[in-house]
Structure 1
Amino acid sequence: MAGTGAPQSPRLVTPGSGAVPTLLKAALPSIPVVGSLPGVRKGPASSFSGLTFTRPPVTVERAHVEAYAEVCGFPSKDTAPLTYPHMLAFPLHMAIMTEPSFPAPAIGTVHLENAVTGHRPVAVGESLAVTTSVGAPRPHPKGTVYEFVAEARVGEELVWESTSTYLRRGRGDADAPGGYSFPHTSPNGTVWRLPGDLGRRYAAVSGDHNPIHLYPWTAKALGFPRQIAHGMWSLARCVAAIENRLPDAVRVDAAFKKPILLPGSVELGTRVLDDGIAFALTNPRSGAPHVVGRSTAL
């Protein structure tokens, strides 16, 4: 994966301030008048060159892994699911997004794509040092995108990495790259019925308490007809469905298309490729895609 080239030395962050203070910091820049105050006002995108945050090494705890596995559909094992280290990187994502120097407010920024690479399985009980970097924004046909690159190491060994691409809608560049392209994957008849509290259950294990995922009234306040599933839950659920066919060293790329309304239903599709597996989650009635992606053996 390509790095961001963020110039700063890593800034140490200790997560643990809680959901409400984090949400408040995320929301303030979007509030009229308040968003223009010193310490809240976002800096200009033109002068932003990047940030790098790191956290103290954290042990992969069995109880947390099992709670995550249960809500995402993974089996209970002595190794963490491929997507699990994102739980340890996400607090750094939020710490960067709530920095005044980061140009885009966290609320309203859309998770567009994700690439996850596992270089080897991460065992329960291992201690991971996690760093997240973001570089300068780049143009997109629908606005501006920011790529958050996370790395997890055991000692000096790089065991896991990811690139999370976030879109800030606005004036786009029609000539800019539009993102990933994936093989077409037809539904295979596997339908998952998703409960209305799925977003709250995933928030409890992930720390992602974005209001669009929690309740109908909090989602409606931000422009959705009702709450929607987390993108990283939908990716994790797809990975869980194909996990027994993935090698120990693997990359998974995915694009998030239409939101999954909760409660609701999605239909899975998978297709074997020469070097991996293509997958998709679609609306069972309309066929509209929610998530599309593929794995690639390393």
Structure 2
Amino acid sequence: MADHLGATVRELAGPPNLALLYPKALLTAFGRRGEGLPTTQYLRRPVTVDPGHLARYAEVCGFTAGDELPLTYPHVLAFPMAMRLMTDGDFPFPLPGLVHVGNRITRRRPLRAGEPLELRVWVENLRPHEKGRQLDVVSTASVAGEEVWTDVSTYLRRGGGSSAAGSGERAEPPAPTAVWRVTDDIGRRYAAVSGDRNPIHLHPLTARLFGFPRAIAHGMWTKARCLAELAGRLPDACTVDVRFRAPVLLPATVHFASWAEPDGWGFAVHDAATGRPHLEGTAGHALSD
């Protein structure tokens, strides 16, 4: 990972209050934002897992409940810290309109529910994109000083892109290995366990305010649901990298497909009727930093 010796580390006594941060997130659409990336790094320790919350998360995402944390679970523990960082005044972009376009998680070994975690969150790698600018929100989980889990969420701010977009040609979707019927309440159910109560996920009326005809599923729910399908097929040390394509409009029927690759698995989620891609990903042995 990048060198963060110049970071200002702010240790938090508890999780930031998302009920206060969401109104603040909406207000970031007004007024001047920072020009570069903030140098703040938020830290929480120790963070303990609530077994009841873990069980509810597993149920919503399709995992079998147990002592081992699902690969995506620490993301929800770090999410309030990421929201705190992105609503700070020196974060360069307003949150309304910021698009979560990708997520890569590396696990160096499985995490257990009884292990106290040290969580850190920061932002890095502001860069041009053909449709605007991108940056990464990085979250890590350490146990006894050893970093064992790293999450890189890539966000896109549209506007002022560096080049023309691609042709938009769509490849034939792979043959499905499972069919999901995604209910219209999955956004509210995932919001309840993740804390991500972005209005675009909660109700058709609030989603329309942001340009969506219906509420949409969370990208991280879709990734978690894919990993539930891949249960038992990933090594202890693994990297799972996904790109979020078109949103899943709720309710929906989608096709999940997985296939073997030389170093693990490829997988994808497509609309069952149109073949439109929602998510594309790879899963395999852990990549070096």
TM-score normalised per structure 2 = 0.92
- Give the Cα–Cα distance (whole angstroms) in 2 for the partners of residues 278 and 136 of structure 1: 26
Deviation at 1:9, TM superposition (A): 2.6
- SS of the equivalent of 2:113 reads coil
* Alignment map for 1:12-51 (pairs within 5 Å): 12-16=11-15, 18-30=17-29, 35-36=30-31, 41-44=32-35, 47-48=36-37, 50-51=39-40
- Give the Cα–Cα distance (whole angstroms) in 1 for the partners of residues 191 and 2 of structure 2: 28
Deviation at 1:187, TM superposition (A): 3.1
Letter in structure 1 aligned against 2:105: V
- Give the Cα–Cα distance (whole angstroms) in 2 for the partners of residues 284 and 247 of structure 1: 30
Match of 1:127 in 2: 116
- SS of the equivalent of 2:8 reads coil
Deviation at 1:43, TM superposition (A): 1.8
- Give the Cα–Cα distance (whole angstroms) in 1 for the partners of residues 245 and 12 of structure 2: 32
- Give the Cα–Cα distance (whole angstroms) in 2 for the partners of residues 3 and 243 of structure 1: 31
Deviation at 1:13, TM superposition (A): 2.9
- Structure 1's consecutive aligned runs of 4 or more residues displaced over 6 angstroms after TM superposition are none
Q: Which range is displaced more, 13-22 or 208-217?
A: 13-22
Match of 2:208 in 1: 220
Q: Which runs of 5+ in 2 are unaligned?
A: none
- Give the Cα–Cα distance (whole angstroms) in 1 for the partners of residues 133 and 16 of structure 2: 29
Letter in structure 1 aligned against 2:212: F
Structure 1 contact 120–248 (Cα < 8 Å) conserved: yes
Distance 1:24 1:137, change over 3 A: same
- Give the Cα–Cα distance (whole angstroms) in 2 for the partners of residues 290 and 242 of structure 1: 17
Structure 1 contact 111–166 (Cα < 8 Å) conserved: yes
1:172 to 135, 140, 161: 161
Distance 1:158 1:16, change over 3 A: closer
- SS of the equivalent of 2:80 reads helix
Deviation at 1:162, TM superposition (A): 1.0
TM-score normalised per structure 1 = 0.89
2:257 to 241, 254, 269: 269
* Percentage of identical aligned residues: 44
Distance 1:48 1:297, change over 3 A: closer
- Give the Cα–Cα distance (whole angstroms) in 2 for the partners of residues 20 and 101 of structure 1: 21
Q: Which runs of 5+ in 1 are unaligned?
A: none
- Give the Cα–Cα distance (whole angstroms) in 2 for the partners of residues 235 and 3 of structure 1: 25
Structure 1 contact 15–91 (Cα < 8 Å) conserved: no
- Give the Cα–Cα distance (whole angstroms) in 2 for the partners of residues 142 and 6 of structure 1: 31
Letter in structure 2 aligned against 1:280: A
Tell me if 1:11 matches 2:10.
yes
- Give the Cα–Cα distance (whole angstroms) in 1 for the partners of residues 264 and 196 of structure 2: 30
Q: Deviations over 1:5-46 (max 9, x none)?
A: 58323212345454431110100021xxxx22xxxx3122xx
Tell me the C-alpha RMSD between the 2 structures: 2.0
Structure 1 contact 280–291 (Cα < 8 Å) conserved: yes
- SS of the equivalent of 2:53 reads helix
Match of 2:50 in 1: 61
Match of 1:91 in 2: 80
Match of 2:188 in 1: 200
Tell me if 1:290 matches 2:278.
yes
- Give the Cα–Cα distance (whole angstroms) in 2 for the partners of residues 297 and 185 of structure 1: 25
Distance 1:296 1:17, change over 3 A: closer
- Give the Cα–Cα distance (whole angstroms) in 2 for the partners of residues 237 and 134 of structure 1: 26
